[in-house]
Structure 1
Amino acid sequence: MIRKLLRKVFRRAATAVNPEPALIPVAQHGIRREQLSPVARKVCTVLQENGHKAFVVGGAVRDLLVGHPPKDYDVATSATPEEVRALFRRSRIIGRRFKIVHVMSGSETIEVSTFRASQDAEATETDEHGRVLRDNVYGSQAEDATRRDFTVNALYYDPTTEHILDYHHGVADLKQKTLRIIGDPRTRYREDPVRMLRGVRLGAKLGLTLDPAARHPIREMASLLENVPAARLFDEMLKLLFSGYSVKCLQQLREEGLHHGLLPLLDVILEQPMGERFVWLSLENTDDRVRQDKSVSPGFLFATLLWHEVLANWDARKRGDEHTQPALFAAMDEVLEAQAGKLAITRRIVGDIKEIWALQPRFEKCTGKAPYRLIEQPRFRAGWDFLRLRAQSGEIPMALPEWWERFSHAGSDAREALLAEAPGTGEAPERKRRRRRRKPSEAGAGAVADAS
């Protein structure tokens, strides 16, 4: 009874479903079928040949309209998941809340979803905050368009006719550089709080301004993100941080008050001059790599975002007379545990983060056999990149990463010379050799030699 009552309270006022979309021909929008993934075209063709409606939908259409190469393709269809599965040998049904089909071809995967019904259906189940928990009702294409989050994502492209079906004036919004939500913003944010993060990401990526009606409720509704499952929030954060526009995204998150709690104490880090410079350098480096289509590492990026929290914790422990290495590992665990409650960082990524952090004190040892052992470590390069970033932010002298760069590429003889001039060591190795205590046997041999 309580759930039904809350569902009525939080259910959004029915958004008018446009039964007839605007039909935009290729002469106006300019997207040719050849620009699409051949696999996406094939999926649509097979479905249409078997009597179903099928369209490339959402982000791929939006990105093609603004000249961005799509990274993946989604297809929306009138076919049920079981019907889609029967048509494609390499496919599988996934999902609990709403079943979808992954159709695989080579290394590419096309996500195929069935048109969804209006969210006012009785089958919709929400929690006490209005977030949708279960919603398995299929519907018409017009209803499916109404269910999309932003107007620029409610665009359907037919590869056969090369027409775009536009139910909510998304093409016009793109031309006007406006990001507008479909329906009542407050209700849509209650249904799925992640839409607030998605709005920030899309606005930064596409150069769109969030519509005032969609922007106004965000600051006061930001606390709803606390009810989002940690794994889903982590996935959305990865999309944001690896969008190629993470600097703009994070700046916008701060303006909207959404960064509090996403990365615990990130707002505090960004208020520290050294920590802020370090974070921005890391994000700028990541954006550059994404735009150049180079590989990026979630472990490396999260290691940089959280480093100054680890550093502060580590320094406090060392002042409390804890030994350096155990203090570092304790600080690492404490900071990562603070994250675990909100972001479901995978074990593999946590392992990468810890390895990068654990290497940092080892870079300070530039004498003896330690440098030889360190350059053999599998994560040496990632650790060195992290060290250089610390130097660029002013945390440590640039001489240290420069010395390691020379040492790692030098030959045997050159490495011996570099050990003698390591940063901060000077003539220390020679002095240490002179001060080295002789073993009893050595002392005896020396006395005999003197006597002779």
Structure 2
Amino acid sequence: MTSSSVTGLWKKLSNKFSKPTQYAPPSATIIPRDEHCVSRKHINDAAIKVIRRLNEEGFDAYLVGGGVRDLLLGGQPKDFDIATNATPEQVRGAFRNSRIIGRRFRIVHVRFGSEIIEVTTFRGGHDAPSTSASNNVQRNKHSARTESGMLTRDNVYGSVNEDAARRDLTINALYYSSRDFCVYDYVGGMRDLEQKLIRIIGDPETRYREDPVRMLRVVRFAAKLNFDIEQHTEEPLKRLAPLLTDISAARMFDEVIKLLMSGQGLQTYALMQRYGLFSPLFPSTQKMLNQHEPAAETIIQQGLINTDARIAENKPVTPAFIYAVILWPVVKRIHKEILDSGVPEIPALHQAAERVLRKQQLTVAIPKRFSLPMRDIWELQSRLTRRSGKRAELLLDHRYFRAGFDFLLLREQAGEIEPGLGQWWLAFQEAHIDTRGAMLTQIPASDDKPRTSRRRRSPRKPR
């Protein structure tokens, strides 16, 4: 839908909206087929099959969330999610190719080959739960929340209008029905699409306390869509940012990937810094940034610029690289401290990496399938400076050579090291084997010496 058509539609509907209520708006504004651009031909076949099957089983089912939002904005969604009044067990019974996942909020994954359609049951409001004095957690049969208000279990089911009120952002609470081809808007999502606003549904502080990750979603969608953040949605962000420390480190890993590897990493990072959302995730790196280390800020920004560019060009990216960039300033500082104590260069780097990664696991748990390549990328920074003999040829066969080489180029771009080494390695990769030999003979001897530090000897005891 073009900007002008959205504007025209909003003029027709503007008098029907007031400020979104916090829970369970009584009815939807229905946008008929001839007044929106969502079409079944733009919707994934698997998603249509899921909706049709649920309808045939007697259940309501809608395309919801980002799929509807992106189609209304004229884009092509990557994911198509379904909301229904069928329980997870009923959805599971309708699809043999499905499984129920999740504990905090149970959902069903319906698999079609390598493709997965996510199906959620309409969520409802929460009754006042009982309080367990032993752990300061409020509970009832289907929900639980901590003393601070964070939901740790959220399996209260309700109606479609309750479900809309329980979603996070107005622009993600639009529903499309393939029965009547209408879009249903319960909370003013069409208005905010037209006004390019990110607005949380309900009271922002309450919703952030229920799930602090919603603060990250606010900045992620603001960066992704280039929307402004609505005033009341924005106000508590910096004040409540420390609540992110209550989120499990494992969940945070996935959230960081969504934040920094979606193609708008630099803009997302800038918003995270503005609202204090980066510090709870990467406290050691933020400590260095607070000390106004220009090299640390520069290499992180350049790393995000490069990652955004690769994504725009449909080139592969790996979480290992961006995590290596974010933690490198801390690794480099600790490496220097260990070197100065007399430990040789490579063992000192191993120790530094171990200390940094162990501490980082407390806030963002990085799986070994990424932390091990990160260590190799960091170690290659020392090995790439030593090129004599067969070392250079052997390094070309290293499984993470390309990532280490890209990291070296990044350090040169950021001004952390003098330019030249990256260009040499680029030429060496492209050179004929005979030319490579000549290149190796021209390396200054001083450039190939690893840094060593004398161990401090204890004074000899007098005889």
Q: Could you state the TM-score of these two structures normalised by the residue count of structure 1?
A: 0.88
CA contact (8 A) 1:269 1:309 kept: yes
Query: Whole-Å Cα distance in 2 between the matches of residues 262 and 69 of structure 1?
Result: 31
Structure 1 pair 29–120 and aligned structure 2 pair: CA distance change class (3 A): farther
Residue number in structure 2 paired with 1:85: 92
Match of 2:244 among 225, 236, 248: 225
Query: Whole-Å Cα distance in 1 between the matches of residues 34 and 441 of structure 2?
Result: 70
Residue number in structure 2 paired with 1:404: 425
Residue number in structure 2 paired with 1:435: none
2:30 counterpart of 1:18 = no
- Give the match's secondary structure for 2:384: helix
Residue number in structure 2 paired with 1:305: 326
Structure 1 pair 166–427 and aligned structure 2 pair: CA distance change class (3 A): closer
After the TM superposition, which of the residue ranges 265-274 and 337-346 deviates more from structure 2?
265-274
Structure 1 pair 428–234 and aligned structure 2 pair: CA distance change class (3 A): closer
2:118 counterpart of 1:97 = no
- Give the match's secondary structure for 2:183: strand
1:239-250 mapped onto 2 (5 Å cutoff):
239-250=258-269
- Give the match's secondary structure for 2:283: coil
After the TM superposition, which of the residue ranges 16-25 and 166-175 deviates more from structure 2?
16-25
What amino acid does structure 2 have at the position aligned with 1:347?
K
Query: Whole-Å Cα distance in 1 between the matches of residues 340 and 408 of structure 2?
Result: 23
Match of 1:27 among 26, 29, 34: 34
CA contact (8 A) 1:281 1:393 kept: yes
Residue number in structure 1 paired with 2:61: 54
Coordinate RMSD, CA, aligned: 1.9
Q: CA deviation at 1:427?
A: 11
1:142-157 mapped onto 2 (5 Å cutoff):
142-157=161-176
Match of 1:361 among 377, 382, 386: 382
Structure 1 pair 246–319 and aligned structure 2 pair: CA distance change class (3 A): same
What amino acid does structure 1 have at the position aligned with 2:51?
C
2:299 counterpart of 1:292 = no
- Structure 1: unaligned runs, 5 residues or longer: 1-13, 430-452
Query: Whole-Å Cα distance in 2 between the matches of residues 106 and 410 of structure 1?
Result: 44
Query: Whole-Å Cα distance in 2 between the matches of residues 375 and 322 of structure 1?
Result: 27
Residue number in structure 1 paired with 2:338: 317
2:63 counterpart of 1:44 = no
Query: Whole-Å Cα distance in 2 between the matches of residues 342 and 312 of structure 1?
Result: 20
Q: Highest CA radius of gyration, 1 or 2?
A: 1
What amino acid does structure 2 have at the position aligned with 1:301?
I
Query: Whole-Å Cα distance in 2 between the matches of residues 340 and 427 of structure 1?
Result: 36
CA contact (8 A) 2:285 2:329 kept: no
- Give the match's secondary structure for 1:111: strand
Match of 2:189 among 161, 170, 184: 170
- Give the match's secondary structure for 2:219: helix
CA shift digits 1:110-143 (9 cap, x unpaired): 1001111113364332111110112222111111
Query: Whole-Å Cα distance in 1 between the matches of residues 446 and 255 of structure 2?
Result: 49
CA contact (8 A) 1:420 1:427 kept: no
Q: CA deviation at 1:92?
A: 0.9
Query: Whole-Å Cα distance in 2 between the matches of residues 137 and 32 of structure 1?
Result: 31
Query: Whole-Å Cα distance in 2 between the matches of residues 131 and 243 of structure 1?
Result: 27
Residue number in structure 1 paired with 2:214: 195
Structure 1 pair 286–159 and aligned structure 2 pair: CA distance change class (3 A): farther
Query: Whole-Å Cα distance in 2 between the matches of residues 227 and 17 of structure 1?
Result: 28
CA contact (8 A) 2:98 2:108 kept: yes
What amino acid does structure 1 have at the position aligned with 2:124?
A
What amino acid does structure 1 have at the position aligned with 2:54?
L
Residue number in structure 1 paired with 2:7: none
1:334-345 mapped onto 2 (5 Å cutoff):
334-345=355-366
Residue number in structure 1 paired with 2:279: 260
Query: Whole-Å Cα distance in 2 between the matches of residues 52 and 175 of structure 1?
Result: 32
Query: Whole-Å Cα distance in 1 between the matches of residues 267 and 392 of structure 2?
Result: 39
- Give the match's secondary structure for 1:364: coil
Q: CA deviation at 1:252?
A: 0.8
Query: Whole-Å Cα distance in 2 between the matches of residues 198 and 247 of structure 1?
Result: 15
CA shift digits 1:352-397 (9 cap, x unpaired): 1111111111101111111111111111111111111111111223
Query: Whole-Å Cα distance in 1 between the matches of residues 108 and 379 of structure 2?
Result: 42
Structure 1 pair 150–427 and aligned structure 2 pair: CA distance change class (3 A): closer
Query: Whole-Å Cα distance in 2 between the matches of residues 330 and 238 of structure 1?
Result: 26
Structure 1 pair 428–180 and aligned structure 2 pair: CA distance change class (3 A): closer
Query: Whole-Å Cα distance in 1 between the matches of residues 426 and 415 of structure 2?
Result: 18
CA shift digits 1:405-425 (9 cap, x unpaired): 121222221111111123x44
- Structure 2: unaligned runs, 5 residues or longer: 1-20, 130-139, 450-463
- Number of residue pairs matched by the alignment: 416
Q: CA deviation at 1:290?
A: 2.1
- Give the match's secondary structure for 1:31: coil
Residue number in structure 1 paired with 2:223: 204
* Structure ranking higher in helix proportion: 1
1:298-447 mapped onto 2 (5 Å cutoff):
298-422=319-443, 424-425=444-445
CA contact (8 A) 1:173 1:179 kept: yes
CA contact (8 A) 1:55 1:76 kept: yes
Q: Could you state the TM-score of these two structures normalised by the residue count of structure 2?
A: 0.86
Query: Whole-Å Cα distance in 2 between the matches of residues 354 and 95 of structure 1?
Result: 32
